[in-house]
Structure 1
């Protein structure tokens, strides 16, 4: 059977060209892009003068059941990582490998901010001599979370106080590990992407050993990553912490460590957060195992 070659009528060409020219004369409209399903909240200044801004993404079913409470993921460095984690959540929720949950990104209010300097204040649990900014106030930030931000999220967005999770990268990852040992009652799951273990001369390793020596249980899920092509000294600290975890035999702690191959320090975030979300939320996932036909 021969196939006919379909050629558009030449009579249509002038009309099409005229339409194209007319469209080209019209300027495209422009508007700032807003991530759908999200909102921001600017909080009053804290006693220390910190002005926090929360980036919030609510699950699709939020408006349909006014009584339902949701797990909440608190994410450090929202000004960098909130869009990334929000996109990962959409994919994972579609695959039904995580439950519906609220994402609360932790950031700062204002314009033209120096995020590198600001984050030192609350994400570092110990002083960092030589750093470009004040540091060592992680416990005060935990106070703000516990006394101000958690109650707000649980009141306004029906966050479940029994299902809080926390994620962060680099210095944010160190903050995640500090929260695990300093106030284990606050969160159920922890994602530490390329945590800055080397800060304070492996200070967090000392905290982990001290907690294990106390004999207290640590009922939590922990996911820790490093990147294959991190700065060598930085990666060595992460590997020391990862190697320590099985040695401690910490009662109640379920953990998984991973080295993200082929990535550097920031490039590890996408895979670290995606796999970390699957790991910490696994007990609540609607479906387990591979996709079904």
Structure 2
């Protein structure tokens, strides 16, 4: 699990783009502290509150009973963990990932705790894990407070795709002589196995999560027979994964790698996957840095993409005045990831100003699969219920 979370850190962007190579030097972000203004507003924005004497007493009692626990009462989430100092692998104190991204603060005797406030906390979807602890199985929990939103499942067998008539294949396609090859996952609906002209093709920057998202959508009764999903995996050079991901997906960091990756996604892959077929529609998609990329691909190549699925977009730049008349864009984020939520709302306004048809989807969760599974699923459902806005 620790290795998996390192991959998630690289994919989710929990650190600033100027982060260090070694995980021991990651400048992990803490949660925004509660202010008087926030309290007076009824905690409409999530924040980290000070522990009072009652909280500390209850945390000490809880810590004596179990190594990791949480409690939600109304707008308040309290988390307690008992962690030996030698089990904290870096950063000095336990760090939560990923729906809540925050440090737990020391109470003494290897006990740590934190309190978070948000007006809809009791309706939230949470997966809580300790990221930097040597025994992470002692530090994880889930909470599902709303029946309105899907709860993603990790235990879905590959047979779910087969039973739906879908075919999953994996390929290694060459990006360039300099940057080598990249693993690509392709999932085709049963109506798209021979010809793609009646199909919607979605190109995703987060291929390592593609099967997970598609299987959850199928399990929730989505008919994906006329969809093709193409997921580009992150680089395999683990010590440089986040650097490469940023260079490839975010404009302005490494122009040569960014341009090469764009060519790979918009020329090489289209040729390899579609051949001479012209699909019904093409969409770019991704989360976090991949969400910013999905927006940028639509903006840079409106001749290629009919729309986009933008999930929790990271930093972005509106660098052209490109019109996106009638392009279908689905965009959203979690209410517990304030920075990405602000990005999504600002990006939605920008897209509408360009003439795009925008549907916003916001989830009572944070920077993780609880949020992205719901945005993804609702986006696909909306596409099923409507004609494509524009053939590429």
TM-score (norm 1): 0.66
Q: How many residues align?
A: 224
1:178 is the counterpart of 2:300: no
Equivalent of 2:243, from 117, 121, 130? 117
- Cα deviation for residue 88 of structure 1 reads 3.5
Q: Secondary structure at the match of 2:183?
A: strand
* Equivalent residues of 1:224, 1:257 under 8 A apart: yes
1:104 is the counterpart of 2:233: no
1:72 is the counterpart of 2:192: no
Higher helix share: 1
- Cα deviation for residue 115 of structure 1 reads 3.5
* Equivalent residues of 2:299, 2:324 under 8 A apart: no
Q: Tell me how far apart the structure 1 counterparts of residues 250 and 237 of structure 2 sit (CA, whole Å).
A: 23
| Alpha carbons of structure 1 residues 38 and 217: separation in structure 2 relative to 1, 3 Å | closer
Q: Secondary structure at the match of 2:189?
A: coil
- Cα deviation for residue 109 of structure 1 reads 6.8
| Alpha carbons of structure 1 residues 139 and 60: separation in structure 2 relative to 1, 3 Å | same
Q: Tell me how far apart the structure 2 counterparts of residues 233 and 110 of structure 1 sit (CA, whole Å).
A: 28
Structure of larger gyration radius? 1
- Cα deviation for residue 190 of structure 1 reads 0.5
Determine the structure 1 residue equivalent to 2:69: none
Determine the structure 2 residue equivalent to 1:146: 266
1:38 is the counterpart of 2:149: no
Q: Tell me how far apart the structure 2 counterparts of residues 95 and 34 of structure 1 sit (CA, whole Å).
A: 16
* Equivalent residues of 2:284, 2:305 under 8 A apart: yes
Determine the structure 2 residue equivalent to 1:52: 182
1:239 is the counterpart of 2:345: yes
* Equivalent residues of 1:71, 1:159 under 8 A apart: no
Unaligned runs of 5+ in 2: 1-156
1:166 is the counterpart of 2:284: yes
- Cα deviation for residue 126 of structure 1 reads 2.1
Unaligned runs of 5+ in 1: 1-32, 128-133, 286-293
| Alpha carbons of structure 1 residues 106 and 95: separation in structure 2 relative to 1, 3 Å | closer
- Cα deviation for residue 151 of structure 1 reads 0.5
- Structure-to-structure mapping, 1:194-233, within 5 angstroms: 194-196=312-314, 199=315, 203-204=316-317, 206-207=318-319, 210-211=321-322, 216-230=323-337, 232-233=338-339
Q: C-alpha root-mean-square deviation of aligned residues, in Å?
A: 2.9
* Equivalent residues of 2:332, 2:341 under 8 A apart: no
Q: Tell me how far apart the structure 2 counterparts of residues 136 and 223 of structure 1 sit (CA, whole Å).
A: 29
| Alpha carbons of structure 1 residues 277 and 138: separation in structure 2 relative to 1, 3 Å | farther
Determine the structure 2 residue equivalent to 1:256: 359
Q: Tell me how far apart the structure 2 counterparts of residues 280 and 61 of structure 1 sit (CA, whole Å).
A: 16
- Cα deviation for residue 167 of structure 1 reads 1.1
- Cα deviation for residue 284 of structure 1 reads 4.1
Deviation larger for 186-195 or 138-147: 138-147
* Equivalent residues of 2:290, 2:313 under 8 A apart: yes
TM-score (norm 2): 0.51
Q: Secondary structure at the match of 1:218?
A: coil
- Cα deviation for residue 281 of structure 1 reads 4.5
